[in-house]
Structure 1
Amino acid sequence: MLMILVKQIKQLFRKIAKGSFWFKITVLTLIILIACVIANNNRPEGFVQKNKFEMKQGTDIYDDFYASIYNDLVFDKIKNEYEVGEIINTTHPTEHSLILDIGSGTGQHVAELNDKGYPTIGLDLSPGMIGQAKKKYPNLKFKNGNALEFMLYPAHSFTHVLCLYFTIYYIEDKQQFLKNCYDWLKPGGYFVLHLVNRNKFDPIINSADPLQIVSAQRYAKKRITNSLIKFKDFQYRGDFKLNKDNDIATFEEIFKDDKTKHIRQNVHKMYIPPQKHILSIAKELGFVLKGKIDLVPVQYEYQYLYVLYKPE
């Protein structure tokens, strides 16, 4: 039954692909509207804010409110399960391994790996995210800390270090970060790093993209960078902008309360050089590239997990 449904949906998208540009836009708009209406019933309620306008940057973004809705914005169970499965198949952890997930957020990857029998701990810079992770997974280990601090862990502590979901791009000093990861790894350990093709990846966040079977970017003349979501009591808008001249991107989020009309603006600053630049730093530090996992099977085109190895 499921295979028949998938086949029918694929046939529908082939028909859409043959239509005119405006026909494609109309169909996409209708799908987005329908998805927003369906999803609205499950959205969390609005945020409480005294001021008419507040702007948050850096670590201030990840407060209790943002941590509480983070999964509603970006969590994708299918993608997470695929990533964990590929990491296991490629790096072969055991029950004696110790995995560190840097930028662990609300703890989804940490939980998935522990559920499969591979001891994993989470590290995140945000107290709000750590609080949310501990609340959801009270029996798992999470630490609030800065991965740029070398003394955070002793050398040779972990068999695996993970850096997933854009975490590397929030770190300006990539040299120090990668050096710490290298030193924290045991000889023979693996470092799994999420990187993207900055010019082609889809910046629409998961909850704002109803086309999970095919990328909306394929049907757009110009790259779509806006994300729109209707929550129960507030509206969300996100926009990704890249400046290739200085390798800096911004992701701006606007939350507008339906009742008070108060606005919260989050400005994420990302340091996003070409992939080869980051990989060259890793190579200079001693990492050996062992593999590249393409996330296209779960509809994250131009996004990859690079598997790096610390020689014994």
Structure 2
Amino acid sequence: MNKFFKYVSHQINSIGKLYDKSSTAGKILLLFILLILVTVIFKGLNQSNQREGFEQSDQFLFKTNNEIYDDFYSDIYDHLVFNNVKNQYEVGEIINNTSPTSESIILDIGCGTGHHVAELGSKDLNVIGIDVSPSMIAKAKEQFPEYKFEVGDALNQDQFRFGSFTHILCLYFTIYYMKDKMRFFKNCFDWLMPGGYLIIHLVNRDQFDPILPPGNPLMLVSPQRYAKQRITTTKVKFTDFSYHADFQLDKGKNIAKFIEKFKNDTNGKVRKNEHTLYMESQKAILVMAQEAGFIIEGQIDLIRAQYEYQYLYILTKPN
């Protein structure tokens, strides 16, 4: 995977150098060619979003928080958020920075449909994934039957015994679904062995790009850099239904709403999901981690995976 990133970085640098050396006409031609390539790639990727419409008996269905993650949502989840390049980069950086071995025991909190567990497991590491959603766990087991997944809650202090793990991961916005983050940190501290690692995903809530992968036609370029105002909406067209999402941040209350709407093309039925995210500043969350006993050891910037203003923080439990 490192070779892949080096190759991509080399190609981007080469294009940049060629652009700098080109005449005005040459620059216009190069941008035109790149635009065509991006359009072709995006159309190809968009074909993977061609899914059959959702079915529900009610004309309008409203779901919040944990009830969102039912069979329908777990089935479409990967089509909305999964990014293989990002996942492989995250796992690679976690391994490079924490050096797990065959003796390590890794817990992935909020494992979703299981991709991080599978990526770690493919490297012969001992890993288990938990999620509060039975439907997400069922999908993870369906996709990766060779790995271990369980329904579990990181806010339940009795979920695991003291000193059970060498590594605990909490990735892709999972921590923001937890209102009682201090309880989360205390539980993780108890479940880790001395010297163990907790890796959490945090974002700059004011500047990260809330557009989901299938809604970004620019692929390797964040549209936020060129927008006068922050773009907070995602629109995706599937075969039989349309998808619309919007990220709404109330900075004063440290709360964000991520609102999704699915509309069936045939019968007009609508499903609306409202996610509540408890989005304190990165500094405030890290202070909580320190108060729970953790030491901040490092930060991994996800910009190399094209996730700007998003980070993995490496925390350690003292020996």
- Whether TM exceeds 0.5 here: the answer is yes
CA distance in 2, matches of 1:184, 1:170: 20
One-letter amino acid of the structure 2 residue matched with residue 226 of structure 1? T
C-alpha distance 147-130 of structure 1, shift in aligned 2 (>3 A): same
Please give the alpha-carbon distance, in whole angstroms, between the structure 1 residues aligned to 2:242 and 2:38.
14
Cα distance change on mapping 1:243 and 1:297 into 2, 3 Å? same
- CA distance in 2 between partners of 1:218 and 1:59 (Å): 33
CA RMSD after TM alignment = 2.5
CA distance in 2, matches of 1:200, 1:3: 23
Q: Which residue of 2 aligns with 1:310?
A: 317
Q: Which residue of 1 aligns with 2:107?
A: 100
Q: Which residue of 2 aligns with 1:119?
A: 126
1:41 to 32, 41, 47: 47
User: What is the aligned partner in structure 1 of residue 135 from structure 2?
Assistant: 128
2:232 paired residue among 225, 230, 238 = 225
Distance (whole Å) between structure 1 residues aligned to residue 57 and residue 308 of structure 2: 40
Alignment match of 1:206 (pick from 213, 221, 224): 213
Is contact 1:31-1:210 (8 Å) kept? no
Contact 1:296 1:303 in 2 (8 A): yes
Q: 1:265 and 1:285, CA in 2 relative to 1: closer, same or farther beyond 3 A?
A: same
Q: Which amino acid aligns with 1:158?
A: F
Q: What is aligned with 1:21?
A: none
1:258-277 correspondence to structure 2 within 5 Å? 258-277=265-284
2:32 is matched with none
Q: Are 2:127 and 1:153 aligned?
A: no
Question: For the residues of structure 1 that align with 2:242 and 2:79, how far apart are their CA atoms?
Answer: 13
CA distance in 2, matches of 1:107, 1:171: 20
Unaligned runs of 5+ in 1: 19-28
Count of residues in correspondence between the two structures: 302
Aligned residue number for residue 169 of structure 2? 162
TM-score, L = length of structure 1: 0.90
Residue type of the alignment partner of 1:90:
N
Q: Equivalent of 2:79, from 48, 64, 72?
A: 72
Q: CA deviation at 1:34?
A: 6.5
CA distance in 2, matches of 1:175, 1:4: 42
* Superposed displacement of residue 7, structure 1: 5.8
Contact 2:104 2:125 in 1 (8 A): yes
Paired position in structure 1 for 2:187: 180
Cα shift at 1:48: 0.5
The range that moved more, 114-123 or 1-10, is 1-10
Say which is worse superposed, 143-152 or 209-218, in terms of deviation.
Answer: 209-218
Task: Provide the secondary structure at the position in 1 that maps to 2:97.
Answer: helix
Moved over 2 A (4+): 1-14, 29-43
Counterparts in 2 of 1:275 and 1:226: CA distance versus 1, 3 Å:
same
CA shift, 1:245, in A, is: 0.9
3-state DSSP of counterpart to 2:140: helix
Give a deviation string over 1:233-266, Cα, whole Å, max 9, x none.
1100000000011000000000011111111000
Kindly state the Cα deviation for residue 189 of structure 1 after the two structures are TM-superposed.
0.2
Structure 2: stretches of 5+ with no match in the other structure: 1-6, 25-34
Letter of the 1:237 counterpart: H
Task: Look up the match of 1:86.
Answer: 93
State the shift of 1:209 in Å: 1.1
Amino acid corresponding to residue 109 of structure 2 in structure 1: I
Give the C-alpha shift of residue 128 in structure 1: 0.8
Cα offset for 1:38?
3.7
1:278 to 281, 285, 289: 285
